[in-house]
Amino acid sequence: MSTTTLRVRTPPGFRVDAAALLPVALASLSVAEIEHIVLPAGNERCAVGDVFDVSRTGASAPGDDVAALVIDGAAPWLDRLGARMEGGRLIARGPVGDYSGFRMSGGLVDIDGDAGHFTGCEMRGGRLTVRGASGDFAGGALTGDMEGMSGGTLTIHGNAGARLADRMRRGLVLVGGNAGDFAASRLVAGTVGVAGQPGAHYAYGMRRGTLLLARRPAPLPPPTFTGGGHGFDVFWSLLIRSLATEIAPFSQWRADRLPVRFTGDLAVDGRGEILIASNELDGDTA
């Protein structure tokens, strides 16, 4: 396995499009070739070697799909990190800018800090982990596009901004903190979990899919949802089994404690569901 490390040496003073910094692509290049890659930045541009110290450990080979890239000293001026990524492992040590993991389809992106807006936007596969908070439209769709996230796993350990998983069609999104307004809005399919409190108008226009809430939100439920009844214990046991390796509290739920279920959004003839489970860490009960 080859590991390429880019250590920030001289911040450029403007936002940089880092989409070209992909682990598999860089694994086939020499250190000198990487240093000459030009990164666009609006009306500006810069070479990798002008901003980063580049180093390499391990053997590199073309098509190395387990190649790793480490961004040491990442900062919010780094946009589109991991965009359209198809394989390998990308680790950012520090906060990053907007569009991280945009339309990524494979591999692993691990951000050890906060992420900006549109994190995991229109994501198609792979795993994206944000150790801090995320901005608006995480797992959602670009303005005017009809499809948000359609595959993969997005995990945000902190809070998420507004329009979380907007127009999401498939995949898994988990938030360890609170979510902003319109969480899971216009959800078509997939699973969204919020450990804290969602903002106003959660599940707005929800057609299908599942919204998992670890705490009772207010209001409960939205006025266009109705009681969901019983008889989903098999589904629940399978769901929590799939969450066993994910972040708490989702990994700690038990099959013998069924959540409260609501279905909707009836305003759009929706067949989605909101499942409100107990949070055993602080004594909440569903």
For residues 12 and 28, what is the distance between their CA atoms, to the nearest angstrom?
26
For residues 92 and 71, what is the distance between their CA atoms, to the nearest angstrom?
5
Which pLDDT value is given to residue 58? 81
How does pLDDT run across 239-250, given as a tens digit for each residue?
Answer: 999 999 999 999
The residue type at 48: V
217 closest CA partner among 286, 139, 138, 157 = 286
Q: What is the mean pLDDT of residues 127-156?
A: 97
Which of the four pLDDT bands, split at 50, 70 and 90, describes residue 62? low
Mean pLDDT (the chain, rounded): 93
Which pLDDT value is given to residue 281? 35
Provide the 10 A C-beta neighbour count for residue 231.
9
How does pLDDT run across 9-27, given as a tens digit for each residue?
Answer: 999 999 999 999 999 999 9
Judge whether residue 278 has pLDDT over 70.
Answer: no
Report the 3 state secondary structure along 181-209. Answer: CCCCCCCCCCEEEECCCCCCCCCCCCCCC
Which pLDDT value is given to residue 65? 55
136 closest CA partner among 158, 152, 160, 114 = 160
Q: What is the mean pLDDT of residues 255-261?
A: 92
How does pLDDT run across 67-84, given as a tens digit for each residue?
Answer: 999 999 999 999 999 999
Which of the four pLDDT bands, split at 50, 70 and 90, describes residue 218? confident
Which of the four pLDDT bands, split at 50, 70 and 90, describes residue 115? very high
For residues 141 and 159, what is the distance between their CA atoms, to the nearest angstrom?
19
Q: What is the mean pLDDT of residues 123-128?
A: 98
Judge whether residue 105 has pLDDT over 50.
Answer: yes
Which of the four pLDDT bands, split at 50, 70 and 90, describes residue 228? confident
Sort 212 into a burial class: Cβ within 10 Å, 0-12 / 13-18 / 19+.
buried
